[in-house]
Amino acid sequence: MATILRRWSYEYPWLYDGISRLASLGVGGERRFRTLALGGLTLNSDTEILDLCCGAGQTTQYLAEISKHCTGLDISPVALARAQLAVPQAQYIQGLAQELPFGDRTFDLIHTSVALHEMNRGELAAIFREVYRVLKPGGVFAFIDFHTPTMVIFWPPLAIFMALFETQTAWELLKMDLVEDLKRVGFKDCQKTLSLGGSLQVIQAKK
């Protein structure tokens, strides 16, 4: 169960940003971490991008550097206000990831960064269905999130971090096969790569 540090990380942006920067050092820094799920993708200034569960825009800033058609969605108006200040060139919409307020076949790329572990299995299934719906044919769903470490040495730091900052849904995510869940929705060409001793997974799934 998460401690008071979880609440503080939401209330105090400097704390969250500091933790994020420290954690990202293991994969080469924050820019590398925030763009890790984009590896191998062909993107340009006209790519329609949705930053799903964008928070305060920590990843949106890098997506907006790539495309002039970048939209951030989050349920928190406080987070969206921070994102608007940090990355004003993107568009922002308040809404649920499980009920996306967009028409069918809207986006070329939907990206999310360490947000899916906040959802339970039912919510994840709904999110995957909605993402599939609003992606254009040939579009890609790309994300990074926690994974069961493949190297024992990475278990202690992951377990400590999750105990301090995360809830039970994060532990449940470690037991899930997200590639199989995506395939059941209809995604194809699902590619999964692991980083940081297997404690992070990057998945790219094509519609």
Q: Using one digit for the tens of pLDDT, what is the confidence trace for 73-127?
A: 999 999 999 999 999 999 999 999 999 999 999 999 999 999 999 999 999 999 9
pLDDT band of residue 160 (cuts 50, 70, 90) is confident
Query: What confidence tier does 44 reach under pLDDT thresholds 50, 70, 90?
Result: very high
Give pLDDT tens digits for 164-186: 767 789 999 999 999 999 999 99
- For residue 205, list its beta bridge partners: 141
- Pure H helices in the chain: 4-11, 13-24, 30-35, 60-66, 77-86, 121-134, 155-165, 168-173, 178-185
| Residue of higher predicted confidence among 52 and 8 | 52
List the domain range (segments joined by +) for residue 101.
4-206
Q: Convert the pLDDT of each residue in 122-154 to its tens digit.
A: 999 999 999 999 999 999 999 999 999 999 998
Cα dist. 18→12, 68, 109 in Å? Answer: 10, 28, 28
Q: How many domains does the chain have?
A: 1
Structure tokens at 89: 């060139």
The answer, yes or no, to whether residue 41 has pLDDT greater than 90, is yes
The CB-side HSE value for 166 (13 A sphere, CA atoms) comes to 22
Q: Quick one: pLDDT at residue 19?
A: 58
Q: What is the pLDDT of residue 13?
A: 62
d(CA 106, CA 38): 19
Q: Say if strands 91-94 and 70-74 run parallel, antiparallel, or are unpaired.
A: parallel
- Any idea what the CATH number is for the domain that residue 150 is in? 3.40.50.150
Q: What angle do CA 17, 19, 20 make, to 5 degrees?
A: 65
Neighbouring residues of 80: CB distance < 8 A, sequence distance ≥ 6: 54, 72, 74, 92, 94
